[in-house]
Each structure stands twice: as structure tokens, then as C-alpha cells.
Amino acid sequence: MKTGKISLQKAAFSLLLALFLVTSFSHPTMAQSKQSLSTQITNNDQSIIFTKLNEKVWVHTSFNEWNGTIYDHNGLIVLTSKGAVLIDTAWDSGGDYQKTEELLRMIKKHFKQKVHLAIVTHAHDDSIGGIQALLNQGIDVHSTKLTAKLAKEYGYPSPRPTLDKKPLLKVGDTVVETYYPGEGHSPDNITVWLPQHKILFGGCLIKSLDATDLGNTADANIQQWGPSVRKVIKKYPQVKTVIPGHESWGDKKLLFHTLYLIKQHQQNQP
């Protein structure tokens, strides 16, 4: 009975995922932001998608169900002379980290690199859910002290809390800068800046232009979210590409759209 139930759940998830993908890639904004299919790599069931930003930086996208709806989540793969830097795990949950295992297999297969180190941008399952798969392969996983603390509280292994003291990482020929602007989507959300590429990974702090609301605000600090985004805008005026935690990416308009959604949310509160 248990096996049958799991099979039905997987079948239902696969159907929902197929519908999500058909809808998403017919959406003009998604099509423009994620470019053409020739710049994408997928596994057989399209549960993991890599999208090329340039020769060294790719977005990894995975999927999960939340409140009965399938959503995507973005992370980054940064190819360096020392190996790949992984920003966020695949969206695993419930102690199942098969998606992140598949993500690691795909990185090794398509880029001929192992993951040198990983960064977790906050302690929600869409960013940290597959951490055990990384640790099982001996991958060094970094976070802030707060994310490491929250990870333990949420039942995940703690990453190494190094980023407060050493937010700037030099990995081979590549510079990776992490930044904690303050609370927002979560108490611990950080951004990741790639100065050589002018790419900002905003994670769940930043909303896509597709977003019409703030999404999951269970752990959000609405009052501080706006000031935190403004700090990011001020710190990275030269940004060219902004990757949100969910949905389509684009330019710095995403930062200002996030501010608009925060203001709209505040105005709608009683």
C-alpha cells in the first residue's frame, strides 16, 4: 500500500510538473528571460533544468509542490578554474534529496566538473533541502551563522557558518560575494554577487516581474523587507542580470518591482 501511494504521488507530481512546464514556456516573459531552448539542458523528466546565462554561469531550476501547486526554484552554477560553485540546492523536502543528487550528476556529466563548494542563501527547503546530498559527497557548504542556526532548528544539517566573517570568496579565477542586507522574505536571506559577470542572485529576497504578490510570507519581516532591498540596490548599481528565487529573471527592474509588491502588500493590510 505504501509503495502504491508513493507511486501515485509521483505520478500526480509528474502530471502537475508537465502542465507547469507547458504553461511556463508558452509564457512570453518566461520565454524571453530564459532565452531559447538551445541554451538549456534538462534531465529525462525535465525535473531539473539548466539555463545558460553565459559561458561560465548557468541557472539551475527545480520544482516542488506547495499548497497543491507546482512552483519552480532557481539557483546558480558558476564554473571556475577550481570546479563549480553551487548556489542553493535543488528544491528537495521531507528528507528526500534525490533532486540534488540528480543536480550533482548533471553538473559532472555536462560540465565535466565537480562542485568545489556550495552556498546556501537561506534555511527554507527550496534553498537548503538537498544539503545532505552535498555533504554525502564531501562538498563544503557555506552559510551565515543565522542560516546555520535555523537549519538545525528546521531539522537540516548545519552548513559551515563562514560568510559573516568572510563574505567574499575567491574560487580559482572567480570572485563570489555574499551579502546580508537584513531581514525580508526570511530572517536570514542573503544575495550572491558575481562582479565579473555583473550577475546578482537575489534569491527569495527578490521577486520576479511575473510575481503579483510576495508569495510565502510565513517567516517574512515585511517592515524590513523594503529597506533590505534598497540596500541591495545601493550596493550593486552596476548590476545587469538579476536572478530571483522563483520564476523568470531579468534586469534591475526586478529590484524595483519587489519594492512595489512590498508597498502593495502593506497597503492591503488592515
Q: Cite the active site residues.
A: 122, 124, 126, 185, 216
Which set of grid coordinates corresponds to residue 45? Answer: 523528466
Coil vs helix vs strand at 101: helix
Secondary structure of 19-85 in HEC code, one letter for each residue: HHHHHHHCCHHHHHHCCCHHHEEECCCCCEEEEECCCCEEEEEEEEEECCEEEEEEEEEEEEECEEE
DSSP 212: S
Going by C-alpha positions, the residue among 47, 44, 105 that lies closest to residue 77 is 105
Q: Evaluate whether 90 touches 100 at the Cβ level (below 8 Å).
A: yes
118 forms beta bridges with 86, 141
Taking the C-alpha atoms of 191, 249, 124 and 76 in order, what is their torsion angle to the nearest 10 degrees? -70
Q: Evaluate whether 125 touches 92 at the Cβ level (below 8 Å).
A: yes
Residues with Cβ within 8 Å of residue 207, at least 6 apart in sequence: 214, 215, 244, 246, 247, 254, 257, 258, 261
- Going by their DSSP bridges, the two strands 191-194 and 174-179 should be labelled as antiparallel
Which set of grid coordinates corresponds to residue 10? Answer: 509521483
